[in-house]
Amino acid sequence: MKRRILGSTGISVSELALGTMMLGAMGNPDHDESVRLIHTALDAGINLIDTADVYSQGESEEIVAKALVGRRDDVVLATKFALPLGVDSTGSSANHSGGSPRYIKLAVEHSLRRLGTDYIDLYQMHRPDANTPVEETLGALTDLVRQGKVRAIGASTFAVEQIVEAQWAAERRGHQRFLTEQPRYSIFNRTIEAAILPTTQRYGMGVLTYGPLGSGWLSGRADPTSGHRAGSAPSVFDSSIPGNQAKLEAVGALTMLAAEAGLPLAHLATAFVLAHPAVTSVLIGPRTPAQLTDLLSASDVVLSDEVLDRIDEIVAPGTELNSDDNYLATPAALLDARLRRR
């Protein structure tokens, strides 16, 4: 499998990376099968494994730890923090989430324990924290790098202005900066092409994209509104929603295009994401070994300019067919009316 350098980290990573959100109670509860899935990915040349503390409430990290016994030094291990993980006696998750130095110090120790390792190659902030100045977050993460617990730091699903603010804050304060960004990107989710991807290029950041199959819409199933994810999030696949109707129409057109190119739709979708020059590695998130085997066979697919132009005609660059698919956090100014009134 081909490798690329992850931004300015100097780390060489495979073009396809293994995302483990679906390993554990959220997807595949069979630990033995999940471990075999990870081993298959590693044997195929994938060297980057991405997980998060919230995936199945830490279970995904524990599964990854089992799979990496005896193989840790060969793997670029990435995990994430910041999304709510637990509550206090009042039911509040405020001190069990976010980017405060207090929480970061707790979260990293828990992840290191679950992962069975003494260092994390890439520690990523899963979502921005409106309640903590980003320089405070970067200061705490810088301490982890200096202590050797973390090799590099990154962010996930940040808006373009948040990416820029974090870069400026790091320069002003002399902190470690976010060296990577992990955005959602697929044929159906192209808004990051307008500003986020050009900004990551400007700052020399590595980009690890997730969701290349659009939550299963581009998997090639006869009925994309069915399947495991459709059962767990039916509103995301409700065909009566106008944005989802547009997706169904686009799936038909893309399926025909994939057939003309001699490709399964899932391979066309994955290769489309890899074709963007800002993208370092595409996270694939299989739930079963069969899904992994299918996606691995897409690693050598390169789309012609003609095919990419046809995709642009079906879904215009920089657009999203369903605005509800935008995973960027809603700004605090829109959530709290008091912030808009005197």
Active site residues: 55
Region label for 318, one of left (φ > 0), alpha (ψ between -120 and 50) or beta (otherwise) = left
Alpha carbons 264 and 241: distance in angstroms, whole number = 26
Looking up tokens 């059962």 gives 231
Alpha carbons 255 and 275: distance in angstroms, whole number = 19
Alpha carbons 258 and 111: distance in angstroms, whole number = 40
Alpha carbons 3 and 46: distance in angstroms, whole number = 9
Alpha carbons 242 and 30: distance in angstroms, whole number = 37
Do the beta carbons of residue 114 and residue 108 sit within 8 Å? no
